[in-house]
Amino acid sequence: MTATPSTPAHTPAGRPDGRLGILTVGLGAVASTLIAGVELVKRGLAAPTGSLSQMGTIRLGGVNTPIHDIVPIAALEDVVFGAWDPFPDDAYVAATRAGVLEGGRHIEGISDALREVRPMRAAFDREYVKRIDADNHLQTIDKRSMLEAIRADIHRFREEKQCDRLVMIWCASTEIFIEPGPAHQTLEAFEAAISANDPTIAPSMLYAYAALLEGVPFANGAPNLTVDIPALRELAVEKRLPISGKDFKTGQTLVKTVIGPMLRSRLLGLNGWYSTNILGNRDGEVLDDPDNFKTKEESKLGVLEHILEPETFPELYGDVYHKVRINYYPPRGDNKEGWDNIDIFGWLGYPMQLKIDFLCRDSILAAPLALDLVLFSDLAHRSGMYGIQDWLSFYYKAPMTTPGHHPEHDLFRQQYTLEQTLLGIAGLPLGG
């Protein structure tokens, strides 16, 4: 079976009933910030800034109408969290150690809810993330055993928390770079590779596979290959489940998907774009390993080429020097700095420069994206949408696309597609 483009349901989804369980793979800075933020918003102690599902609007009949009034998104009051992590810290300890949130203002008041989220033992193999040394993981690296353990965890969580629906999202570290190979082409080959402990079957793939086997939509917030392989894409279609990825688009790449379209629309030439990042969280430590950085680099480098269309304008974009660097710098913690030097040229070839210094907070930017992705994935599932959800490209650095289709990287085109899809789900005329 070949995956087909995701399309809006012909019948608008009804209001969701019951609990939505959100399973995060990883309970570090991003996941703990997400969980704390949802609890704060539920209690009226904070605003969900950065979340389209909570604050976004679409213009209908000349009126800006909240998205949550247009489509039936699950209410935050009906959300419950579970997680896996190789570290034993519950969400309270994880949030405290991550240093993203102010303890007195944003952690202590919801400590009861955070303490309830205790990580399940992770399916973890240090060959894929060499810079992490922890012990809250399964005492095996046998891939079949890990797969069955993840499935058992999903069953147990669903029953214990009395969830009517689940969504799984990868919020864990970037794995080493893996290229698609023979083991990824069919379900038969994938199954055989699991039994043979094939090294091209990464732990993230086992999580995605377990999710699909258990009827759970899957979103990939890291640049790992994970669910973006023929075998799992086809399984998602067979099981009629939404999948999406890859890699949360938060800081420097978000800027590129805004500045790149500006250059392209005004036909300003580009000689070079140098990007460097410094960050000191666990993600930075993992990416300090060249094998893991290679995975991240691939997702960052592809953005400009797709936006600028060098084949159409070779004299403007045919010889661009694009360099990306990530440096682990512990004193900075989760407060990442992305610095860009952009060498452009204009009328008659005269050179100009742009310099951008984005002092951002990595998990503060990622948490609302993760929230939107799980809520929209649940909405898509209830609306009868399945396979690759191209319309969620708005949230990703390296968007998964249906085979034969090119990814869209222009942020504003991505937003338009997202809004049109939501209108389609609601059964409303497009182009509103």
Structural tokens at position 323: 């360099």
The pLDDT of residue 314 is above 80? yes
**Could you tell me if 35 and 76 are in contact, meaning their C-beta atoms sit under 8 angstroms apart?**
no
The pLDDT of residue 94 is above 80? yes
Give per-residue burial for 237-261: e unless 16+ CB within 10 Å, then b. bebebbbbbbbbbbbbbbbbbebbb
pTM for this prediction = 0.92
Residue type, 270: L
pLDDT by residue (tens digit) across 198-249? Answer: 999 999 999 999 999 999 999 999 999 999 999 999 999 999 999 999 999 9
pLDDT by residue (tens digit) across 53-78? Answer: 999 999 998 899 999 999 999 999 99
H-run or E-run covering 408? none
The pLDDT of residue 11 is above 60? no
Of 48, 106, 114, give the one whose Cα is nearest residue 76. 48
Report all structural domains of the chain as residue ranges with CATH numbers, in order of start.
Answer: 19-248+363-426 (3.40.50.720), 252-359 (3.30.360.10)
Mean pLDDT, residues 398-425: 93
The pLDDT of residue 332 is above 90? no
Measured at the alpha carbon of residue 170, what is the angle toward residues 29 and 373, in degrees to the nearest 5?
95
